[in-house]
A and B are shown apart, each in its own frame.
Chain A
Amino acid sequence: MANLPPPSPDVSPPVDEKRASFEKEALVHLDTLYRVALRLSGNPADADDLVQETMLKAYRAWDQYEKGTNAKAWLLTILRHAFINEYRRRTRHPETVDVDTIEPFAVFSEVQDDDPQGAFFDKIVDDQVLGAIDKLPEAFRETLVLSDVEGMSYQEIAGILHVPVGTVKSRLFRARQLLQGKLYDYAVEMGYIKGSPA
């Protein structure tokens, strides 16, 4: 039987230092983690638990994180793994979507004569927009939230979701078009803009 390697010397930084760097680099992203968790899980109680769990895992693994790189992306990767492993099974199910039915830039062509600036969007309140995002298929929803709400780059999103950059691009395109369509239909229904729901 091979000899076990000698125990490695304790090179962990002192607790105060660890805490300070965690507060500076990780805790500042709490709002982002919460918003993403809420859109993924679909309810505030699960979002709370998901964020809590993410922060605990991140703190435990903090020595493995290379300081000063990209804590936001690193934390979101942990959060997404936790969501997939522990929450998705009992909350939502990944849906399949017929992506070919989405027409490119359908809403713009619909409104370009009457409202080319899309002023009707401004009448739609936060809750309606968030509700429409929640109805997007999961793969589109997470891509759109990471990009359009949290401002992550294609490369960062590809890393978090473990998909190629080309997939991020195409999901983002479809997610935005799908969401625009939903919001346009709602605006027509509410009389914010004339037109017929697609």
Chain B
Amino acid sequence: MNCRECVEHLYEFLDRELTPQLEQDIRAHLEDCPPCEEQYDFEELFLKFLRARCRAQGAPPELKKRVLRELFGE
């Protein structure tokens, strides 16, 4: 595995969409390659940040009531 291949698979790795073998090859490469590891860390932190910023909001309580009323007449 070289750096280009490693970076190519970056998001698939972080999204846990790779085969176990490829995942293992990437882990091995990252252990030996600080620049690639740094880039992986950056993107991983970005995805965590994104999820944290976007999940605070849920359905308003009024909507839930409205749905229940409409479905079950409550």
Interface of B (DSSP majority class): helix
Interface of A (DSSP majority class): helix
Contact across chains for A35 and B72 when beta carbons are under 8 A apart: no
Residues of A within 8 A of B58 (CB): 30-31, 34-35
Complex CA distance for A124 and B14, rounded to whole angstroms: 22
Complex CA distance for A129 and B47, rounded to whole angstroms: 12
Contact partner, B38, options A116, A151, A154, Cβ 8 Å: A116
Contact across chains for A52 and B51 when beta carbons are under 8 A apart: no
Complex CA distance for A148 and B15, rounded to whole angstroms: 9
Quick one: given A30-B64, A51-B63, A52-B63, are A116 and B53 in contact (CB under 8 Å)? no
The answer to whether the Cβ of B43 comes within 8 Å of any Cβ in the partner chain is: yes
Nearest residue, chain B, Cβ from A151: B51
Contact partner, B11, options A22, A151, A176, Cβ 8 Å: A176
Complex CA distance for A133 and B50, rounded to whole angstroms: 10
Residues of B within 8 A of A148 (CB): 47, 50-51, 54
Contact across chains for B59 and A112 when beta carbons are under 8 A apart: no
| 0 or 1 for each of A31-56: is its CB under 8 Å from B? (1 = yes) | 10111001000001000100110011
A50 CB → nearest B CB, Å: 10
The answer to whether the Cβ of A77 comes within 8 Å of any Cβ in the partner chain is: no
Complex CA distance for A127 and B55, rounded to whole angstroms: 12
The answer to whether the Cβ of A94 comes within 8 Å of any Cβ in the partner chain is: no
Quick one: given A48-B63, A117-B42, A172-B11, are A129 and B54 in contact (CB under 8 Å)? yes
Contact across chains for B66 and A33 when beta carbons are under 8 A apart: no
Contact partner, A154, options B15, B42, B50, Cβ 8 Å: B15
From B15, B38, B58, residue with most partner A Cβ within 10 Å:
B15
Nearest residue, chain A, Cβ from B35: A112
Residues of A within 8 A of B15 (CB): 147, 153-154, 172
